[in-house]
Amino acid sequence: MTARAFLKTDRFDLCRPAPGDLDGLVRLLEGEDMTRFLGPSRADAISQYERLTRNAGSWALYGYGSFYVRRRGESEIIANCGVFHSWRGFGKGMDDVPEAGWIVRRDCWGQGVAGEVMRAVLSWFDETHGRQRIVCMIEQGNTASERVAAALGFVRYDSHAPEEDQAAVLDLYERVPG
């Protein structure tokens, strides 16, 4: 059974989180390189349950969040993309703000999934919530995500140096009204 799409693009159904999505989220992150740029996130049920409930909470409290992306008419989650409400806890303009993010399954890399989906998401967000500042953070070296961010109008404004349990520097981006 396929989930009901909240938004659609030419190729994809974008669905809000549902209780039955946990296994699909775990499968999304399985495989080589899938968590390389995702900090402490892992392809296990506990980590992805936390992601699922955080996302559902963003929808419940703020009226926006990440979408689970499926090919039109199919049930398997191939990406997690959207704008969710975030509080990163290190300041630098990353607390209590809408944050964009995209995770695309390895076998779908290079097919334009993130760009197509995020253009639709940002258009919906602007129409529904008004055009406002949206942030995103990208681990240095993730050139594919840097290209997606630039194409979506995000501009780097700062970076965040590693903390004790984090090995990589994060570049901070924003898309401002204008």
Give the model confidence (pLDDT) of 106-161 as tens digits: 889 899 999 999 999 999 999 999 999 999 999 888 899 999 999 999 999 999 88
* Residue 2 pLDDT grade (very low, low, confident, very high; cuts 50, 70, 90): low
Percentage of the chain modeled with pLDDT above 90 = 57
E-assigned strand segments in the chain: 7-8, 12-15, 66-71, 77-87, 95-104, 134-139, 155-160, 170-175
Q: Is residue 140 assigned to a domain? A: no
Total-model pTM: 0.89
Given a cut of 50, whether residue 48 has pLDDT beyond it is yes
Q: Domain limits at 52?
A: 7-130
For the chain, how many structural domains are there in total?
1
Q: Is residue 102 assigned to a domain? A: yes
Task: Answer whether 41's CB lies under 8 Å from 63's CB.
Answer: no
Q: Is residue 166 assigned to a domain? A: no
What CATH number has the domain bearing residue 47?
A: 3.40.630.30
Q: Is residue 165 assigned to a domain? A: no
Q: Is residue 150 assigned to a domain? A: no
Q: Is residue 13 assigned to a domain? A: yes
Q: Is residue 148 assigned to a domain? A: no
Q: Is residue 99 assigned to a domain? A: yes
